[in-house]
Amino acid sequence: MTASPDTRAEPQIPRGAGSPPRGRSRRAAGEARAGLLLSLPFLVLFLVFIAWPVLQSMIMSFTDMRISDIRTPFAVEFVGLENYRTAFSDPVFRRAAANTAIFVLLGVPLTITAGLAAALALDRGVSRLRSVFRIGFYTPVITSIVAVAVVWRFLLQPENGLVNTVLGWVGIDGPNWLGDERTALLSLVAMAVWRNFGTSMVIFLAGLQAVDRQLHEAAALDGAGRWQRFRHITLPSIRPTMLFVLVTTSIGYLQFFEEPFVMTSGGPLNATISASMYTYNQFGFGNYGVAGAMAYLTFLVIALVTLLQFRLMREK
């Protein structure tokens, strides 16, 4: 192969000054080699420890595998989409899917807004005590989930809980937050936002380093208001970060599990059961095939949502 077909095929691309065709091709080869070399260590470990187990689990979701089959994997039967049909026709799984959707639709925007607001305030708004606030806002992330569960249960207790005590001062008779079907899921959304906004805050803080401060100052001199500067300077520069936070928060919330697991066990009356938690229960019961199918249904939804987010964020 020579360099000439390449240059002939792409005549419309303007050449950089002083870069002959031969050099361009060699550079492309060098770039590809460098790319592969830099990727290789990650990919080797990735294929062995992640991709391969994933593949096995995918096969599992198309078989009638139960825990008792695990030592005789050849005895399992391929059942096609049967497990997926079982999952779809299970009313509890449908309820779990609906709960998860509500959780994501409420939780993701709140978490990102809170995280971004905290990051902006710490990056530009204040100059002193920055690290105090930064650590403070991050404590919910690092506090043990067990301690979190205990404290939140105290806070939300119907009789003596702090929340209802405060509501009582203004004459509101607060509900039994975790025991009432109507408020249980909302309580878990609040708890999840509280627990997770610190994570998006630290990511935004890193992303905000890419914002051009001179541009900000220049725009301010030209009379641009805070909001205008935020929209036209800050937001565009943190778009990759925003996409990252949006995607990972959505993925995390679509798999939400810990909050109902430690707080409500999915109750009352399945009001807080999530898709992941119900899947986990199926694993516990040894129904590997059905559990796998449920997990991959969750995956499909996540993939669609992510694709959509990539599309939306790439435009403009």
Partner 1 sequence: MNRITRRSFTALGTAGATAALAACGRSESDGAGTTAEEVAEGPATGTVTVWAMGAEGEALPELITGFEEENPDVTVEVTPVPWDSAHDKFTSAIAAGTAPDLAQVGSTWMAEFVGLDALEPTPESFAMDDYFEGAAQAVTVDGTAYGLPWYVETRLLYYRTDLAEQAGYSEPPTDWDGLMAMGQALQEKADAEWGIALQPGGQGSWQTVLPLMWSAGGAVVDEADGSFTFESAPNEEALAYYQSFFTEGVSDPAPAEGTTEQDFVSGRVPMFISGPWMMAAVEALGEEGFADQYSVAVMPAKETSSSFLGGANIGVFQGSENRDAAWKLAEYLSRPEVQVQWFELVTALPSLQTAWEDETVASNAKFEAFHTQLETAYAPPLIATWEQVASRFDAQIEEVCKNDLAPADALATTQSEAEGIGTGA
Partner 2 sequence: MIERRRPVITYLVLTAFLLLVITPFIWMVLGSLKSQGELLQVPPTWLPEQPTLDNFQRLFERPFGRYFWNSTVVAVAVTVGNLVFSSMFGYALAHLSFPGKKILFALVLACLMIPGLVTFIPQYVLVVNMGIAGTLPALILPFLVQPFSVFLMRQFFLGLPRELLEAGRIDGVGEIAIFFRIYLPLAGPAFATLGILTFLGSWNNFLWPLVVASSERTYTLPVALALISTGQNQTDYGLLLAGATLIVLPILVVFLFFQRHFIQGIATTGIK
- Looking at residues 29 to 58 of the shown chain, list those that interact with partner 2 (rule: CB under 8 A): 30-39, 41-43, 45-46, 48-54, 56-57
**Residues 128-157, mask of contacts with partner 1 (x by CB under 8 A):** -------------------------x---x
- Residue 263 beta carbon to partner 1: minimum distance, rounded to whole angstroms: 9
Spatial contact of 233 and 120, defined as CB atoms under 8 Å apart: no
Q: Report what 260 binds from partner 2, partner 1, none; CB cut-off 5-8 Å by kind.
A: none
Nearest residue (CB) to partner 1, 93 versus 197:
93
Q: Which of residues 249-278 bind partner 2 (CB under 8 A)?
A: 251, 255, 276
Cα separations (Å) of 198 from 96, 140, 274, 287? 27, 7, 23, 36
- What is the DSSP code string of 188-248? HHHHHHHHHHHHHHHHHHHHHTTS-HHHHHHHHHTT--HHHHIIIIIHHHTHHHHHHHHHH
Q: Select from 88-96, 124-132, 176-184, 217-225 the region that touches partner 2 (CB under 8 A).
A: 124-132
Say how far apart CA 185 and CA 301 lie, in whole Å: 21
Q: How many residues bind partner 2 (CB under 8 A)?
A: 96
- Residue 52 beta carbon to partner 1: minimum distance, rounded to whole angstroms: 6
Beta-bridged to residue 63, according to DSSP, are 78
Judged by CB under 8 A, the residue of 4, 68, 113, 209 near partner 2 is 209
Using CA atoms of 52, 57, 61, 67 in order, give the dihedral in degrees to the nearest 10.
140
The answer to the question of residue 213 lying near partner 2 (CB under 8 A) is yes
Judged by CB under 8 A, the residue of 158, 174, 215, 299 near partner 1 is 158
